[in-house]
Chain A
Amino acid sequence: MITVRNLHKWFGELHVLKGVSLEVKKGEALVIIGPSGSGKSTLLRCINLLVQPDEGDVIIDGVKVNDPKIRPEWVRQQVGMVFQSFNLFTHLTALQNVMIGLTKVKRLPRPEAERIARFELDRVGLADKADAYPAQLSGGQQQRVAIARALALNPKAMLFDEPTSALDPEYIREVLDVMTKLAEEGMTMVVVTHEMGFAHNVADRVLFMAEGVVVEEGAPEEIFERPQKDRTKAFVGKILG
């Protein structure tokens, strides 16, 4: 579904991604872990072209998307993204947040868009919050609306950029539950997270990144219980305490 080959990204002098390759099959959940500054977020942003890669290929469903001939807007409709800080549109209600991509990007008629949006809100358990504005919702609720907003466009895959890092502890569970359900339903997912429980239970594979390269990759139990590389051992040791 998603193939990344030898991806490089520089921000000025800073070489953030140094030849990253990865493969996510259809229906697979890949969790990316690693210390901050290792390039995880940049990697996710390169997949939906929020950041333009400098070298290498991003292939989604057989199409090389980092190609001047391909409109980034089209690519972003294929891949949903959920951000650490939710980024709900503050001036729109939950329902409008979910609808706006349908009406303004996919150009669906309003009743159709509203039907889909209400369905997606229901899917994340927030049907009763349709008319609430983001500032009236808890962090967990906001993040679930953000997931619904991404799902509404019926993406081929979902990218999660530390979706629970900005949440108060009591709201983390509800977001992870929604993500777990999504994975079980067969959604292709790439998740950057520090939630080791989630990685352990939900991920098909875990990928450890450090300083812009993939250090180690494997099944969750391999990475967490039998890491091969020293840097993985050190990181996993710190995280699992």
Chain B
Amino acid sequence: MTTARFGGHLRISRTFLLRVVFGSIGAGVALFLVYLAGVFGVYDLGYALYLLPPRGRALTTGLITTLGFMVVVMPLGFGLGFAFGWARTSRAWPARAVATTYVEFFRGMPPIVLIAFAFLITIVVFRGNDRIDIFALATGAGVMALAAHSGAYQAEIIRAGILSVPTGQIEAAEAVGMSRGTILARITLPQMFRISLPALGNEFASLIKDTSLLSTIGALDLTFQGKNLSAVLAVGGGNLDLVIIIWAEIAFLYFVITFVVSRALQAIERRFRVPGLEAAQL
């Protein structure tokens, strides 16, 4: 809905933002496919990094890897969360049953265990296949496992958001003759997002740091680089000052990433703000 001409409360329309949100899910899927292309040896980014000094190279590699995980795992997790959260509120019981099973399964296990399972199962399934980079493929499976874990949490956030839209809103929309699809797109979703965004922001912030769990399967992310450099420095006579500095650098990078994402989500929250419905200023 074009809101620009009705007073100055909203400059960007919510429909546009919804497109951005769902566009980002598509982007996540696309990036994952790009990653898979790397797995199948279509391109090789690694060479350029060898021009950097070792510590800079390690941290840059780590940063790129962590950012890569993030841009895949956040939209994928959101896509899964949205789909299953919506299914949890469905009138059709099979949809509810599938979604509930999904949520209980992935929420009930530590992400680190899910990642290990996904990684190892992929290794076992593709063992002996020398045309593809099995390690990278298995890492991708670990990424999917993390997205599925976060998706289970996000599904509950989405479900709570949908349930918080008063039934009177739906009834009024029905009374003006809207179809179910129109009600979902025009009435339920915009109100659900307004309510769910703070909780989703929380989940994203937590998820960014959970990508560090992928270091346990040998992914070259920031956390892996930290562990690796620490080990190397410990062997070389124990330069603990430098180890602390490296971990501080890594912590700073995680903080910056999380901060930027939180601010972006707050900007989206502001766009969904409804005059007169702001929280009370205590």
Q: B272 — which chain A residues lie within 8 A by C-beta? A: 91
Asked if B6 lies at the interface with its beta carbon under 8 angstroms from chain A, I say yes
| Contact segment of A15-23, A62-70, A76-84 | A76-84
- Whether A136 contacts B2 in the complex (CB less than 8 A), given A76-B175, A88-B172, A153-B176, comes out as no
Q: Judging by beta carbons under 8 Å apart, are B177 and A89 in contact? A: no
- Whether A89 contacts B169 in the complex (CB less than 8 A), given A100-B186, A131-B6, comes out as yes
Give chain B interface residues in 184-204, CB to chain A under 8 Å. Answer: 186-187, 190-191, 194
Q: Report Cα–Cα, A133/B272, bound state, in Å.
A: 13
| Contact segment of B45-53, B101-109, B128-136, B274-282 | B274-282
Which of A77, A85, A135, A153 is within 8 Å of B168, CB to CB? A85
Q: Judging by beta carbons under 8 Å apart, are A89 and B182 in contact? A: no
Q: Report Cα–Cα, A75/B168, bound state, in Å.
A: 19
Which 5 pairs between the two chains have the least Cβ-Cβ distance? Answer: A135-B276, A87-B172, A101-B176, A131-B7, A77-B177
- Whether A153 contacts B277 in the complex (CB less than 8 A), given A83-B168, A96-B6, A104-B182, comes out as no
Q: B166 — which chain A residues lie within 8 A by C-beta? A: 87
- Whether A50 contacts B169 in the complex (CB less than 8 A), given A89-B187, A136-B275, comes out as no
Which of A48, A85, A134 is within 8 Å of B175, CB to CB? A48
Which of A50, A91, A132, A150 is within 8 Å of B171, CB to CB? A50
Q: Report Cα–Cα, A74/B174, bound state, in Å.
A: 10
CB A84 to nearest CB in B, in angstroms, measures 9
Q: Report Cα–Cα, A189/B79, bound state, in Å.
A: 46
Q: Judging by beta carbons under 8 Å apart, are B14 and A91 in contact? A: yes
Asked if A112 lies at the interface with its beta carbon under 8 angstroms from chain B, I say no
Q: B190 — which chain A residues lie within 8 A by C-beta? A: 91
Which of B2, B7, B9, B172 is within 8 Å of A89, CB to CB? B172
B interface, CB within 8 angstroms of A: 1-3, 6-7, 9, 14, 166, 168-169, 171-179, 182, 186-187, 190-191, 194, 272, 274-277
Q: Report Cα–Cα, A45/B249, bound state, in Å.
A: 63
Q: Judging by beta carbons under 8 Å apart, are B6 and A50 in contact? A: no
CB B277 to nearest CB in A, in angstroms, measures 5
CB nearest neighbor in A for B179: A73
Q: B14 — which chain A residues lie within 8 A by C-beta? A: 91
Q: Judging by beta carbons under 8 Å apart, are A87 and B168 in contact? A: yes
0/1 interface trace, chain A 129-158, chain B, CB 8 Å (1 if under): 011111110000000001001100100000
Q: Judging by beta carbons under 8 Å apart, are B176 and A90 in contact? A: no
Additional 13 contacts, C-beta under 8 A, given A76-B175, A133-B277: A76-B177, A83-B171, A87-B172, A91-B191, A91-B194, A100-B178, A110-B2, A130-B6, A131-B9, A133-B274, A133-B275, A135-B276, A146-B172
Asked if A108 lies at the interface with its beta carbon under 8 angstroms from chain B, I say no
Q: A232 — which chain B residues lie within 8 A by C-beta? A: none
Q: How many A-B residue pairs have CB under 8 A?
A: 89
Give chain A interface residues in 79-125, CB to chain B under 8 Å. Answer: 80-81, 83, 85, 87-93, 95-96, 100-101, 104-105, 110
A interface, CB within 8 angstroms of B: 48, 50, 72-74, 76-77, 80-81, 83, 85, 87-93, 95-96, 100-101, 104-105, 110, 130-136, 146, 149-150, 153
Q: Report Cα–Cα, A85/B168, bound state, in Å.
A: 8
Q: B3 — which chain A residues lie within 8 A by C-beta? A: 96
CB nearest neighbor in A for B166: A87
CB nearest neighbor in A for B165: A90
Q: Report Cα–Cα, A73/B172, bound state, in Å.
A: 12
Q: Judging by beta carbons under 8 Å apart, are B274 and A91 in contact? A: yes
Q: Judging by beta carbons under 8 Å apart, are B7 and A93 in contact? A: yes
Which of A91, A95, A134, A150 is within 8 Å of B176, CB to CB? A150
Q: Judging by beta carbons under 8 Å apart, are B1 and A96 in contact? A: yes
Q: B171 — which chain A residues lie within 8 A by C-beta? A: 50, 83, 87
Q: B176 — which chain A residues lie within 8 A by C-beta? A: 76-77, 100-101, 105, 149-150, 153
Q: Report Cα–Cα, A50/B276, bound state, in Å.
A: 29
Which of A96, A132, A136, A153 is within 8 Å of B177, CB to CB? A153
CB A76 to nearest CB in B, in angstroms, measures 4
Q: Report Cα–Cα, A92/B276, bound state, in Å.
A: 11
Of the A-B pairs whose beta carbons lie under 8 Å apart in the complex, a sample of 7, sorted by A's number, is A72-B174, A80-B175, A85-B168, A89-B172, A91-B274, A93-B6, A146-B172
- Whether A74 contacts B277 in the complex (CB less than 8 A), given A130-B6, A131-B6, comes out as no
Q: B1 — which chain A residues lie within 8 A by C-beta? A: 92, 96, 100
Q: Judging by beta carbons under 8 Å apart, are B178 and A73 in contact? A: yes
CB B271 to nearest CB in A, in angstroms, measures 11
Q: A100 — which chain B residues lie within 8 A by C-beta? A: 1, 176, 178, 186
